Amino acid sequence: METKNIIIVGVGGQGSLLASKILGHLLLSEGFDVKVSEVHGMSQRGGSVITYVRFGDKVYSPVVDKGQADFIVSFEILETARWLSYLKDGGQIVTNTQQIDPMPVITGAAEYPSDLVEKIRAAGIKIDAMDCLTLARQAGSQKAVNIVLLGRLSHYFDISEDAWQNSLKANVPPKFLEINQKAFELGKNFNG
Amino acid sequence: MKELMLGNKALARGLWEAGVAFVSSYPGTPSTEVTEEAVKFDEIYCEWAPNEKVAMESAFGASLAGRRAFCGQKHVGLNVAADPLFTLSYTGVNAGLVAVVADDAGMHSSQNEQDSRHYAIAAKVPMLEPSDSAEALNFAKLAYEISEQFDTPVLIKMCTRVAHSQSVVETSERVEHSKVYEKNIGKYVMMPGNAKRRHPIVEERTRRLIEYAETTPINRVEFFTDEIGIITSSTSYQYVKEVFGESASVLKLGMINPLPVELIKNFAARVKRLVVVEELDPIIETHVKSLGLQVEGAELLPRIDEFSQNLIAEAFGKKISAGVSLNDTIPARPPVMCAGCPHRGLFYSLKKRKCTVLGDIGCYTLGAVPPLSTIELTLCMGASIGATHGFNKMLGAQSEGKTVAVIGDSTFMHSGMTGLANVAYNQSNSTVIILDNSITGMTGHQQNPSTGLNIKGDPAGKIDLEALCRAMGINRVRVVDPYNLKECDAAIKEELAAAEPSVIISRRPCALLKTVKHKPPLHVDADKCIGCKSCMKIGCPAISMKDGKAVVDQTQCVGCEVCSQLCPKKAFAR
């Protein structure tokens, strides 16, 4: 199998590390060679962050490059637009529609671009856009945005529900499992 | 058992399997997790040392005592530990001694992009360079065998993409190792007479290590074609394999110092075109050229930043996809001080007083970015105090009344104390502000000698910063709460006006600490808000303007109330 590439993008502190951990666990248990690459440190302080997940028969590079991502999983819509060039021709976006103003917008030095979902769709790109924050709150915690996104991503994978559930269980503390299972379902069954 | 494991965690696992008993490190991205993972093994004593020099010396002490030992640091940390390293090369070890140095090509979280391979050459010690997690684990174990067989400290060089990538490893069990300490003045007391006798031993060791490098399985040839041969190591190997697969022959080097001679010559003789692919400085390339071989490297590949598969592909004239993008300008999202960060109030006060702020290494470096834009210098750990001293000595009254050094609690313990000793001893009229957020923040919350807790979070010795500064000869020492803008302003004004050295300790724990209890978030009463943007001057990521009124993001605000102290209309409420 040709190596598949996922990038998870968002704002430092939004929970992308847990999402990549669950994905990595899942893909390894499905028998793939897997590499996950993260960035720790300075950029985690509210900066733009990217995590790479790659899987296949044999994976070499730990990173995904421009024009290579089969999936972009995004926690914030401006970040979706920022990392758009990483999407492969025909790739799929799964994104949260939440807007978090970056400092240049807060200080008035720049403007937050409008109608990003529509513009991406108009460019002929496949995009699943949903208000994950509302869905996560519905599930019981605003921190479950990452799991809502994974739920939606699962829709595009030929991997059993049991395997996803096992990876959730293995990586989420027991007292938050129910909330996260609910968040996963809400994402998976989202009908845009 | 097969597991997906972070490179740094795999290295820690390798330490455990190798029977390591002692770990002393100072945190630094991207090296920190090695020690944080090692501490999870009961068989390994782990600690955070005040700095990398102390860590390496302590690890050597443990080696001397007959237990396998380790210290971890980032590239710039090895600058601090270089002093013991260069002479440890002469003394050699008792039980195995290994140090990791994690480089940060691409500067994801660093102040420079130095290539630490130079240290291995300069200090004449072997260096191993893993290219994924499995190698990180196995090279850690091998490093101890080399250390004991050749009587030398061994360096393992990581980089961000190996340290912070997860890949598959196979684990095994721990094997215990220990030796007995024996007094040996000729080997361990490096006064000139003894050191002169040790230096030839170092040179002879290097000769034997080159022989080892010729045959060690971690330097291996993957031969597929005679058209092109690529010599590479570390994460560059992964990019080369990604791009070329089996369409290029590869000499993959796991040992980067000393480099083999015959192995390289033989590989070169089998291929029509020879290329070196290595990030940053031309270490391998220079060596290959010194053997009189025709080789390409620097003319194809940049000497700055990290590589990727696209970069390698393009360098070899292969087509890549640039991907799609929108016509919109995407605003940058630089890192910012978190909502509720205790540093914010202090930086606002410094900006208001138009101070010249010479800064240091830590989260508070973000005091240099808009809208605060207050810090004017960031160099290395501890430099804020030394630089302020020199600055004030030269400019005198012109600068003394408005210049401050700003340094975090952990950075102060690391190498700020000696700078303060200089201020106290040579009497510059300098004001030093210690930003005491009671943790090492940027690297992800590690304890330090002023927090009163050890690496496991258990009670430990606690250095009293006020008493320490006074004992060093600073008479004016005061503590302020950075959430209280009036108090900050008064302290800065008075200490800058004083005609002697002073220290202000700005004390408030990091807002991200789990032990910190936050007040409920604030909101803005839109009827009271006049849209004057006074609250925007502090650059809090939780505050933005919507339709001419300030709005507080309820998911981010931790209720610190710094913004409300700036509001002329008292529009912030709970």
Q: Taking CB atoms and an 8 Å limit, are B335 and A89 in contact across chains? A: no
Q: Taking CB atoms and an 8 Å limit, are A85 and B369 in contact across chains? A: no
Q: Are B151 and B29 in contact (CB under 8 A)?
A: no
Q: Taking CB atoms and an 8 Å limit, are A106 and B29 in contact across chains? A: no
H/E element, B252: strand B249-253
**Considering only CB atoms, which chain B residues are within 8 Å of A13?**
338
**Using CB atoms, which residue from A45, A61, A112 is nearest to B363?**
A45
Question: Does A48 lie at the interface with B, CB-CB under 8 angstroms?
Answer: yes
For residue A44, what pLDDT is reported? 64
How far is Cα B487 from Cα B499, in angstroms, rounded to an integer? 20
Question: Does A120 lie at the interface with B, CB-CB under 8 angstroms?
Answer: yes
For residue A41, what pLDDT is reported? 64
Model's pTM, two decimal places?
0.96
Q: Are B223 and B270 in contact (CB under 8 A)?
A: yes
Report pLDDT digits (tens) over A105-125. Answer: 988 899 999 999 999 999 999
**Using CB atoms, which residue from A45, A84, A85 is nearest to B336?**
A45
For residue A1, what pLDDT is reported? 84
Question: Does A175 lie at the interface with B, CB-CB under 8 angstroms?
Answer: no
Question: Does B32 lie at the interface with A, CB-CB under 8 angstroms?
Answer: yes
**Considering only CB atoms, which chain A residues are within 8 Å of B160?**
39
SS3 breakdown of chain B: % helix, strand, coil, rounded to 5? 40, 20, 45
CA-based radius of gyration for chain B: 27
For chain A, the distance separating the N- and C-terminal CA atoms, rounded to the nearest angstrom, is 31
Report pLDDT digits (tens) over A134-192. Answer: 999 999 999 999 999 999 999 999 999 999 999 999 999 999 999 999 999 999 999 86
For residue A14, what pLDDT is reported? 86
Report pLDDT digits (tens) over A18-46. Answer: 999 999 999 999 999 999 998 776 556 78
- Which strand ranges, in their side-by-side order, compose the sheet holding B249-253? B219-222, B249-253, B228-233, B273-277
Q: Are B283 and B115 in contact (CB under 8 A)?
A: yes
C-alpha neighbours within 13 Å on the C-beta side of residue A93: 33
How far is Cα A16 from Cα A38, in angstroms, rounded to an integer? 9
Positions of chain B with pLDDT lower than 50, given as ranges: none
Q: Which amino acid is residue B450, in one-letter code?
A: S
B196 CB-contact burial (10 Å; exposed 0-12 / middle 13-18 / buried 19+)? exposed
- The pairing of beta strand A69-74 with beta strand B97-103: unpaired
For residue B360, what pLDDT is reported? 98
Mutate to test the interface with B, among A9, A39, A58, A103 (most CBs of B within 10 A): A103
For residue B209, what pLDDT is reported? 98
Whose CA is closest to A5, among A82, A47, A75, A62? A62
H/E element, B468: helix B465-471
B74: β partners = B102
How far is Cα B119 from Cα B83, in angstroms, rounded to an integer? 11
Report pLDDT digits (tens) over A64-78. Answer: 999 999 999 999 999
User: Nearest-CA distance from A168 to chain B in Å?
Assistant: 16
For residue A42, what pLDDT is reported? 59
**3-class DSSP state of B440:** strand
How far is Cα B454 from Cα B50, in angstroms, rounded to an integer? 12
CB neighbour burial string for A92-124, b if at least 16 within 10 angstroms, e if fewer: bbbbbbbebbbbbbbbeebebbeebbebbeeee
How far is Cα B255 from Cα B217, in angstroms, rounded to an integer? 10
